[in-house]
Amino acid sequence: MVNTNVRTLLSADEIAARTRELGAQITKEYAGRRLVLVCVLKGSFVFTADLMRHIDLPLRVEFLGVRSYGEGTSSTGVVQITQDLNQPIEGDDVLIVEDIVDTGLTISHLLQLLRTRMPSSIKVCSLLHKPARSRVEVPIHFLGFTIEDKFVVGYGLDWAERYRNLPFIGVVEAQ
């Protein structure tokens, strides 16, 4: 296998089981509301695709492109919008879906940006949280897993655009 240098941290089965639980929780909380999932590209597209299929509600899904990590493993500190939403979210119950909250800078920036568009409510769902790196306190209303201070890849997460296609989440080991 080509990706043998990646040590598994969370298996595909563990991710699937937790995603199912999060979907059930979200289904309960948003019953009768105008749920819009905002998928934060690129990293969150795999998680969003799985999560939305465990939410039993008539939701909408919108996409927002954001980038602050370049080729390296630490945030540049500059959160760049690479693709804006193409629908208004005024009056909607927005749930931002992230793959990871690391420094918190991306989510903090997105909460500020999207609040100006007058949604009825705005919350955050993240598959992963890496508290050791936190630079700004951000709310995570629905969380998959808390992870250690390692740069992780797979299940949508990249290192210099590689590894997004791994079905599990892991840590790249020195070869």
Ligand X SMILES: O=P(O)(O)OC[C@H]1O[C@H](OP(=O)(O)OP(=O)(O)O)[C@H](O)[C@@H]1O
Catalytically active residues, by annotation: 102
| 152 touches ligand HPA (CB under 6 A) | yes
**Rounded CA separation 133/150 (Å):** 10
| 172 touches ligand X (CB under 6 A) | no
| 43 touches ligand X (CB under 6 A) | yes
**Rounded CA separation 113/29 (Å):** 24
Which has the closest alpha carbon to 89: 109, 68, 48, 59? Answer: 59
The separation between the first and the last C-alpha atoms of the chain, rounded to the nearest angstrom, is 14
> 67-96 mask for Mg ion (x: CB under 5 A)?
--x---------------------------
> 123-162 mask for ligand X (x: CB under 6 A)?
-----------------------------------x----
Which has the closest alpha carbon to 43: 113, 109, 102, 98? Answer: 98
Contacts with ligand X, residue ranges (CB under 6 A): 40, 42-43, 66-69, 75, 98-106, 158
